Structure 1
Amino acid sequence: MTAAPHRAPRRKAVATWLAVLAGVFGAHRFYLHGWRDAWAWAHIPATLLGLQGLVRMQTLGQDDRLSWLLLPLLGLMVAQAMLTAIVHGLTADERWNARHNPDRPAPPAGWLAVLGVILALMVGATALLSTIAFSGQRFFEWQIEEARRISQ
C-alpha cells in the first residue's frame, strides 16, 4: 500500500487573496481543488468572453449590441470572485480546516484574510452595482430604440 502524497495545508488567507487577485480565472479553485476541477476551468471562458465584450466596446463603441451582452458577464465574474473571497476569508478556522485540511490543521489566517475580505467587499460591490447599472441602462435604451423604430 502506498501512502497518500504529502500535500501542503491549504491556507485561508492564500485562497482569499487568490480569489481577489485572480478569482475571475479560477485561481482560488485551482489552489483548493487542483487542476481537475471543472468549475475552475469554467471561469476562464466566461471571463474571456466578458473581456471580449470590453474590447468590442472600446473598439466599436457603445452601440455594439454584442458588447452589451458580453460586458456584464465580466462584471458578474468579478462580483462572484469577490463573493468567493469574502466567503473564504470569513469561514471559521475550524470549519476551514475540516473542509480543506482534514489531516492536519493549518495555521490561523490572521489579518491577511480580513484585509482580503475588505478589499473584496469594495471591489465586488463596485463591480456588481456597475454591472446592474450598465445592464439596466442598455436594456432601457434598447427598449426606447425599438419603440421609436416601431412607431416610424
Structure 2
Amino acid sequence: MTTATILQQSHKNKAFTTLLAFLLGMLGAHRFYLHGSKDRWGWLHLAALPASLLLRQLFPEADWFYQILPLTLSALGGFLEALVLGLMPDDKWDARYNAASRRLSDTGWPLAVVLVATLMLGAGVLIATMARLFDLLYTGGAYG
C-alpha cells in the first residue's frame, strides 16, 4: 500500500477541517489536511506569512496594515473556506473527500459552534480591514 492509497482511504472529518480553517486557515492547514502537501492553494496560504515578514523588512516605514495585508487576506480566505466547507451537506462532503472511506460523516453541534464563531470573527476582521483600508486610502490614515 502506498502513502497515496492510505491518504485516500483515511476518513476526513468535516468539523475538524472547519476548525482548522477557522484557527489556522491563514497558514493553509485545512488545505494540507484535505489535499496533502501538493496543494497549491495551501502553499499560497502559507506563503502569506513570509510575504508579510518580507514586506516588514523591505518597507519598515510603511503602515503596519500594509505589512500584514497578505496575512490578513489569507486569514479572510481561510474564514470563507471554513464557512464553505462547514456548510457543505454531509453527503456531498463524503462524496468529495471520503469516497474511499466506508464511514459516513455525521456532524452535529460542535460544527455549528465553529461556524458561528467563524462568521462572527470573519465578519469582524473583514469590516475592520475595509475600514482601515479606506481610512488609509482616502484620508492618509487620519483616523489612526
TM-score tier (shorter)? 0.7 to 0.9
Instruction: Assess if the C-alpha contact under 8 Å between 1:76 and 1:127 holds in 2.
Output: no
| Unaligned ranges ≥5, structure 1 | 145-152
Q: Letter of the 2:22 partner, please give it.
A: V
| Unaligned ranges ≥5, structure 2 | none
TM-score scaled by length of structure 1 = 0.77
Residue 129 of structure 2: aligned partner? 131
For these two proteins, the number of residue pairs brought into alignment is 136
Q: Letter of the 1:138 partner, please give it.
A: L
Q: How does 1:69-148 map to 2 (within 5 A)?
A: 69-103=66-100, 104-142=102-140
Q: Percent identity, aligned pairs only?
A: 33
Q: Once the 2 structures are TM-superposed, how far is the Cα of residue 66 of structure 1 from its aligned partner?
A: 5.8
Instruction: Assess if the C-alpha contact under 8 Å between 1:24 and 1:81 holds in 2.
Output: yes
TM-score scaled by length of structure 2 = 0.81
Instruction: Assess if the C-alpha contact under 8 Å between 1:32 and 1:100 holds in 2.
Output: yes
Root mean square deviation, CA, Å: 2.6
Instruction: Assess if the C-alpha contact under 8 Å between 2:135 and 2:141 holds in 1.
Output: no
* Most deviating of 43-52 and 76-85: 43-52
> Which structure has the bigger radius of gyration?
1
Q: Once the 2 structures are TM-superposed, how far is the Cα of residue 138 of structure 1 from its aligned partner?
A: 0.7
Task: Give the Cα separation in 2 of the matches to 1:8 and 1:143.
Answer: 50
Instruction: Assess if the C-alpha contact under 8 Å between 2:13 and 2:105 holds in 1.
Output: yes
Summarize the Cα distance change of 1:11–1:80 in structure 2 as closer, same or farther, 3 Å threshold: same
Task: Give the Cα separation in 2 of the matches to 1:89 and 1:143.
Answer: 37
Q: Deviations over 1:4-29 (max 9, x none)?
A: 73332111101100001111100000
